[in-house]
Amino acid sequence: MYVVGPDEAGARLDVVVARAAAAPRSAVAAAVHAGRVRRNGLPAKGSTPVEAGDTIVYEVALAAPLDAQPQDIPIDIVFEDDDLIVVNKPVGMVAHPAHGSRDGTLVNALLAHVGALPGDQLRAGLVHRLDRDTSGLLLVAKTEAALGALGKAMQRRFIEREYLGLVAGIPEHERGTVEGAIGRDPRNRLRFAVRADGKAAVTHYEIRERLRGACEVTFRLETGRTHQIRVHMSALGHPIVGDPLYGRHDSRVSLTGQALHAWRLGFRHPTTREDLSFEVPPPAEYQRTRDALRG
Number of C-beta neighbours around residue 112 at 10 A: 14
Residues carrying an active site annotation = 131
Burial of 224 (0-12, 13-18, 19+ CB in 10 A): middle
Kindly tell me the sign of the dihedral angle through the C-alpha atoms of 233, 245, 91, 274: positive
Cβ atoms of 203 and 228 closer than 8 Å: yes
- The DSSP secondary structure of 248-272, one letter per residue, reads ---TT---SS--EEEEEEEEE-TTT
What is residue 288's three-state secondary structure? helix
- The candidate with the shortest Cα–Cα distance to 263, out of 11, 129, 89, 99, is 89
Number of C-beta neighbours around residue 208 at 10 A: 12
Angle at alpha carbon of residue 217, lines to 213 and 223, rounded to 5°: 135
Describe the crossing of helices 25-33 and 13-21 by its angle, rounded to 10 degrees: 120
Burial of 273 (0-12, 13-18, 19+ CB in 10 A): exposed
Cβ atoms of 77 and 86 closer than 8 Å: yes
